[in-house]
Structure 1
Amino acid sequence: MPQQTTGGVLPGPLPEWFPRGLALLRDPALNKGSAFSEREREVLGLRGLLPPHVSTQEQQVDRVLENFRRLDSPLERYIMLESLHDRNEALYFRVIMEHPDETMPVIYTPTVGVACQQYGHIFRSPRGLYVSAQDRGRVAEVMRNWPYRDVRIIVITDGERILGLGDLGASGMGIPTGKLALYTACAGVHPRRCLPVMLDVGTNNASLLEDPLYLGLRQRRLTGAAYNDLMAEFIAAGQEVFPGVVIQFEDFASHNAFRLLRAYRERICCFNDDIQGTAAVTLAGVLSALRVTARPLSEQTFLFLGAGEAATGIADLLVSAMVADGLDEAAARGRCWMFDSKGLVVRERGNLAEHKRPYAHAHAPVSDFAAAVEALRPTAIIGVGAVAQAFTREVITAMARINERPIVFALSNPTSKAECTAEQAYAWSEGRALFASGSPFDPVVLDGQRFVPRQGNNSYIFPGLGLGLIAVQALRATDAMFMAAARALADSVQPADLEQGSLFPALSRVRDVSVGIAAEVARVAFAEGLAGIDRPQDLTAFVREQMYEPRYVSYVD
């Protein structure tokens, strides 16, 4: 199929299957709307089907933005952009790429959470592939129904833990579709190479099961052997239909997330973004903060609010980074503490989940988070437990009393689940907090100083990581690759960013950042013997050549 990439004229004559007239206007991969030239209108049967004026893509972007900005509701803006995606794919991605600060919080966090909650009520057209419990025994057949064969990356969810919102069943499809839109917008992975998958195994959400407009299976979730068999069939079918495809696990509940990652990470190229992607972006933010505090990573003490997959993934990567800096593993783990719904995770507590045990240290029980801050005197608190407003004034002021520059990461999303706002973090710390969040916050002015908080969002990591994996046809996704991605992201933060309190680069630079991350991931793949191609002379140039650019091509001379 012709690809809209870098402009120019499509080489050679059009194939016989190329659509004409209304069929062309209804194909989002080929449609250019009012930007079809006079010659194209004549040859392709479009004369009279479009207004007479031939628009440029830039004029189309302006028109989209004018209407986008007229809408007050983020959900309405989400619906508008999804409708644009259904009509004109190249224009959709051009709008996102040129205006990421406005559009990314709409197509992904925080608005995508609301969209998932309302998915059955705002549904307009299918996007992605639905593999359900009813498809057992024929998953490969279902996957062959996908119309594109050059799929290089799949983002799959079973909808059990969507953001901080819990079990949304098949309504969680908004997550993989949003993630893959970011792959294209942030790292130039071609849309035809991306496949969102919803593994619908049912839902335990009673309100969804009672909702007449819910679009998923109306049954309780599969568990045990039935669940495992369906997942195994999906993994095998994915490799059969799309050989070498990268699998990204997204928004699985902890009891499945760790288990699935362990089961498949040494067999196929796969990763869990909630565990490993969150870890890499958080490590990058910590490394940026330490450029301000001028204290080494090995001297930090981390206290996590939350002890699930995100907390464990972050702690594991922090430990690896501290070990790389010369600390022994036991000492490094001793610098990471977790606080869950039952209080401080301590060794003496019985029936601990397996993933919590490495971070259960000897200590008296503590049931209050503020008391845990006083007892442990951490240099950084990291919120990943989706407990809104858990970083209270008492907590932040204690952190500011203990540390000259306290590190405060409120990473839970959507915004309604944030542990504190940017304004609270700065105000309660007298402007000394080094702050990052999972959802966007506006700049804050305090005592004449302007702070520009930026999201510690996985969109800084996974698109570039995936681009690197795809570019070199990597056989595995390893911890060393996530470490390299984190350091590349931290290195992209400029002194001017740090001066205004930004621990991450501007979103306007995300494609360049993704190129740097992809190149570093590729270097690790070659160093570890996991690349499936011969090494190019210039990895950065090679990666950049792989990137999709949503510019129109001319279909006729």
Structure 2
Amino acid sequence: MDKTMKEMRNGTGDSVMDVEGKSGFGGGVEDVYGEDSATEDQPVTPWTVSVASGYTLLRDPRHNKGLAFNGKERDAHYLRGLLPPSVLSQELQERKLMHNLRQYKVPLQRYMAMMDLQERNERLFYKLLIDNVEELLPVVYTPTVGEACQKYGSIFRHPQGLYISLKEKGKILEVLKNWPEKSIQVIVVTDGERILGLGDLGCQGMGIPVGKLSLYTALGGVRPSACLPITIDVGTNNEQLLKDEFYIGLRHKRATGQEYAELLDEFMSAVKQNYGEKVLIQFEDFANHNAFELLSRYRSSHLVFNDDIQGTASVVLSGIIAALKLVGGSLADHTFLFLGAGEAGTGIAELIALEMSKQTKAPLEQTRKKIWLVDSKGLIVSFRRELLQHFKKPWAHDHEPVKGLLDAVKAIKPTVLIGSSGVGKTFTKEVVQAMASFNEKPLILALSNPTSQSECTAEEAYAWSEGRAIFASGSPFDAVEYGGKVFVPGQANNAYIFPGLGLGLIISGAIRVHDDMLLAASEALAAQVTRENFDKGLIYPPFSNIRKISAHIAANVAAKAYDLGLASRLPRPKDLVKYAESCMYSPIYRSYR
């Protein structure tokens, strides 16, 4: 779509110009309510954007192209002399940066280099991440982001996102208005109390929302300007941080009870007031007691999603559905044993039970009986019911008390073993060998992050099961050679699910998240696993196809939103996969004239 390009000087010394938007993605989302909710800032004819010129343009990450500005652009926008004479294509810039990144031997240095790039040249950052997703995902997210959060105070250079602390109580709406973007579609928020498997990192947990939202854009195509990372700082119980001179948060113990609840309530109300009904609020890395409470309290009044409870559940269920093609039988034919009964474990268990109930038409109470959980006190059984936290009670089945995991494996004889305890090295040689003794192909999922907290390594799972285990983990592991065969361990990474889920909610204008949408996301992901993947022992598709996968997940989720009457964007598009693809943000440089 060619456009007549105009340029004029305005009163502020800025350059007002039309921008050529040949991104290859047409269409987009039109909002009947007049909100700017296109996921990509789609080209409309004519469309004008006010962009700073000259030196200021080079300091604007959204519009800066560095040495990719051509001669005409340099003349038109007062850049002549501000750049060396060489003109580099985006592809050449990308090659140079990947070469530089690979020189760093320390993962945290790569992380910092990527964050610097994001602050300097937004489109090049996302082009790099999309084109090299398998190599860079562990850099911008797990496991490196965990170390980045631990050292966030020391490496802090440039504020990203919004920090809302107890000092802002009563003024949260004003704080939200300080954020320069007015059309927000996705918020990822943490209070930093349970960052990955690393515990309470307080205000330094901001690395998680920043990392998650970069994946919303790279993997799900949600435009960067529509994403808002937020950290709610109510203090920290981490003594080491409280004594750290470089700590960036409030220096007191965590607020709890009414004070905490009131702050969160004000936050949720302010978000809805400022950004409307359809903004997705993703809770991230809250401690168990708050995670369940917040999801339960707001799921009927807001568009909310907890990635630790629901995202993890959806991605694990997808892996199990795919693995059935390798191990045989239906979901209801299998018995599940979990190590860990926190938000991840119980969330996964509930979604498996829901899918089983959907497939067999059996009541949920009955399908839950195929699933057993072990916590720090042993197997969760009915005689413990009175002392259990509310989210564990549905899993207290009739059985004699069993203390450790190995005894539980021997007593229950599960076909699927799932670790979500956050405690490393708990799937011992004896545990894996016991699983292999009564299963031809034991399914072993070691989900705890980061890598140091994984219940066992891929190498251990394959060796101890004599190459028969079907293995996936939360953190990435390299391929393993055993018995002359190469096994490629799958990664049950939430990044498979939440970007596509978020895109599906946005393109349908959903106003609530329903459990059936999570099931739809799981089924869409499982359907993307090919015979070639199965032959390598993989139960997840490669991340190199993640944008295509996200479009299919988004289409499935959007279809479910329309079916349930929860979609507000009408009429329903005829081809939801194509529509999802057409709405995705493209990081290709625009041409300026």
In the superposition, the TM-score normalised over structure 2's length comes to 0.92
Q: Gaps (5+ residues) in structure 2?
A: 1-15, 25-42
SS of the aligned residue for 2:394 comes to: helix
- How far does the alpha carbon of each residue in 1:47-86 deviate from its partner, in whole angstroms, 9 at most, with x for none? 1111211100000000110110000000111001000101
Could you tell which deviates more after superposition, 5-14 or 449-458?
A: 5-14
**What is the deviation of 1:331?**
2.6
Query: What secondary structure sits across from 2:472 in the alignment?
Result: strand
- Counterparts of 1:348-367 in structure 2 under 5 Å? 348-349=383-384, 350-367=386-403
**Residue identity opposite 1:18 in structure 2:** V
**Residue type matched to 1:41 in 2?**
R
The residue that corresponds to 2:29 in the other structure is none
Residues 1:151 and 1:13: Cα distance change in structure 2 (over 3 Å): closer
Q: How far is the alpha carbon of 1:7 from its aligned partner?
A: 4.0
**Match 2:322 to one of 266, 288, 304:** 288
Question: 2:332 matched to which residue of 1?
Answer: 298
Secondary structure class of the residue paired with 1:252: coil
Q: 1:474 to 1:161 in 2, by over 3 A?
A: same
Tell me which residue corresponds to 1:115.
148
How far apart, in 2, do the equivalents of 1:468 and 1:242 lie? 18
> Mean alpha-carbon deviation: is it higher for 346-355 or for 327-336?
327-336
Structure 1 residue aligned with 2:306: 272
- Pick from 422, 429, 439: which aligns with 1:403? 439
Pick one of 418, 425, 430 that aligns with 1:389.
425
2:235 is the alignment partner of 1:198: no
Partner of 2:381: 346
CA contact (8 A) 1:155 1:179 kept: yes
Which deviates more, 321-330 or 122-131?
321-330
Kindly indicate whether the alpha-carbon contact (under 8 Å) linking 1:5 and 1:550 is maintained by their aligned counterparts in 2.
Answer: no
**Equivalence for 1:453:** 489
- CA distance 1:4–1:325, shift in 2 (3 Å): farther
2:468 is aligned to 432
Residue 133 of structure 2 corresponds to 100
Q: 1:71 to 1:410 in 2, by over 3 A?
A: same
1:191-340 pair list within 5 angstroms:
191-243=224-276, 244-326=278-360, 327-340=362-375
Matched, 1:548 2:585: yes
Change (3 A) 1:425 1:205: same
d(CA) in 1 for partners of 2:412, 2:63: 58
Q: Distance in 1 between matches of 2:20 and 2:396?
A: 53
Counterpart-to-counterpart distance in 2, 1:151 and 1:205: 32
Question: In structure 2, what is the Cα distance between the partners aligned to 1:366 and 1:193?
Answer: 49
Which letter maps to 2:500? G
Give structure 1 regions of 4+ aligned residues with deviation exceeding 6 angstroms. Answer: 1-5, 8-11
CA–CA distance in structure 2, aligned partners of residues 293 and 553 of structure 1: 49
Q: Do 1:463 and 1:514's aligned partners in 2 also have CA atoms closer than 8 Å?
A: yes
Partner Cα distance (2:247, 2:55) in 1: 32
Give the 3 Å change call, closer, same or farther, for CA 544–449 of structure 1 in structure 2: same
Q: Is the 8 A contact 1:276 1:313 kept in 2?
A: yes
Letter in 2 for 1:332: T
Counterpart AA for 1:301: T
Name the CA shift for 1:299/1:14 in 2 (closer, same or farther; >3 Å): closer
Q: Deviations over 1:129-155 (max 9, x none)?
A: 111111011100000011011110100
What SS does the aligned partner of 2:285 have?
coil
| Mapped partners of 2:200, 2:403: distance in 1 | 27
Q: How far apart in 1 are the matches of 2:330 and 2:432?
A: 22
**Partner secondary structure for residue 467 of structure 2:** coil
Match of 2:547 in 1: 511
| TM-superposed deviation, 1:554 | 1.0
C-alpha contact 1:173 1:197 (8 A) present in aligned 2: yes
Q: Is the 8 A contact 1:4 1:549 kept in 2?
A: no
Partner of 1:20: 53
**Larger deviation, residues 510-519 vs 238-247:** 238-247
AA matched with 1:329: L
Aligned residues of 2:21 and 2:591 also touching (Cα < 8 A) = no
Distance 1:3-1:153 versus aligned 2 partners, 3 A rule = farther
Q: CA deviation at 1:368?
A: 1.4
- Superposed displacement of residue 268, structure 1: 1.0
- SS for the counterpart of 2:110 is helix
8 Å contact kept, 1:454–1:503: yes
**Mapped partners of 2:217, 2:101: distance in 1:** 20
Q: Percent identity between the aligned chains? A: 51
Deviation at 1:5, TM superposition (A): 6.2
SS at match of 1:355: coil
TM-score, structure 1 as length reference: 0.98
Give the 3-state SS of the residue equivalent to 1:388 in structure 2: coil
Q: Could you say if the C-alpha distance between residues 525 and 421 of structure 1 is closer, same or farther in structure 2, counting changes exceeding 3 Å?
A: same
Q: Name 2:530's counterpart in structure 1.
A: 494
Partners of 2:62 and 2:122 within 8 A in 1: yes
Amino acid at match of 1:377: K
Give how far 1:12 is off.
5.4
Deviation at 1:13, TM superposition (A): 8.2
Partner Cα distance (1:323, 1:545) in 2 = 35
Change (3 A) 1:338 1:324: same
Instruction: Give 1:14 deviation, angstroms.
Output: 5.8
Match of 2:171 among 123, 128, 138: 138
The aligned residue for residue 92 of structure 2 is 59
- Does residue 414 of the first structure (1) align with residue 450 of the second (2)? yes
Q: RMSD of aligned C-alpha atoms?
A: 1.5
Matches within 5 A, 1:32-43: 32-43=65-76
- Quote the Cα distance in structure 1 between the aligned partners of 2:282 and 2:346: 18
Partner of 2:193: 160
**Aligned position for 2:413:** 377
Provide the rounded CA distance (Å) in 2 between the counterparts of 1:3 and 1:537.
30
